[in-house]
Amino acid sequence: MRDEFPESTQLQAVSRRRFLQISLVGGATLLAGKSDVIFGADTSKTSKMAINTTFTLGGDLTVNRLGFGAMRVTGQGIWGWPPDRKNALKVLRRVVELGVNLIDTADAYGPDTSELLIAEALYPYPKGLVIATKGGLTRPGPGQWLPNGRPEHLKQAVDGSLKRLRLERIDLYQLHTVDPKVPIEESVGALKQMQDAGKIRHVGLSNVDPEEIARARKIVPIVSVQNRYNIEDRQSENVLTYCENENVGFLPWFPIGGGGGLKPENPLNAAAKAHRVSVVQVALAWLLERSDVMLPIPGTSSLAHLEENVAAAKLKLSPEEWKAIDALAG
């Protein structure tokens, strides 16, 4: 099932708990609580897989490869306002302080709430910050996610996101999912019209297969794809390969997986113990080393978890560790 909702919201809440259960008790969190900008770390020890710390979307938007997903700054069930609005604003501001310059959101998160919080926390935006948002899923009520890829809806969605984010142009606008009732050509055709009107800089896709990407690219250039992908779930491996071949950014959602079925003695735990970090950081480091087009966007509503996630950008696995973790694919 390609659609991330509502399943992923429940799994994400479980995944960190599950990962921390199997991590080394008392393992130190790398750089947690420090105010230093984490990106731009010493890269003298070359990674055995991906080596670039940045990726350029569409030839003109260079971002640090570890971004932030702003889905979970909203209320429970990705509905309404967060219970602690001040904390949500602190998290978003800390994202930028830590050197993250790619924030992913969507009009469906809340709905509208995530975009409004981003603008409240960060506008006027710092130079170089890329805000990627999405449209094409509607929220009739809590726990409900319905695709709507009709051109007229998407044009309204773009205008709505522009207003909430206080932007004149959205750097990266993504079709949130393919509507089975609407040919993808019609959906991305609407986005191309908005691009031609100067309201969108670049277009991306989410929850698609290689054939759908190819069809969309006949209508408009596609600079990114966002599909579910993590250590245990690699059903989108063929999509990642496509993105690598075409130099298209790949944003894995649910990037740390669920840790389901892993024994206490497993390569994730072993690597976490060896590096004195959490298994969450190891999972993110594995993704970053997997491919130069990989742009993980872990999300959280916790300042501590945010700093832990971002610190994973400095972690370098040995070739043996990486291969052992890679073999965990389900």
Tell me the catalytic residues. Answer: 109
Cβ atoms of residues 228 and 15 within 8 Å:
no
Cβ atoms of residues 109 and 149 within 8 Å:
no
Residue 287: HSE in the Cβ half-sphere, 13 Å Cα cutoff: 33
Residue 225 neighbours by CB distance under 10 Å: 28
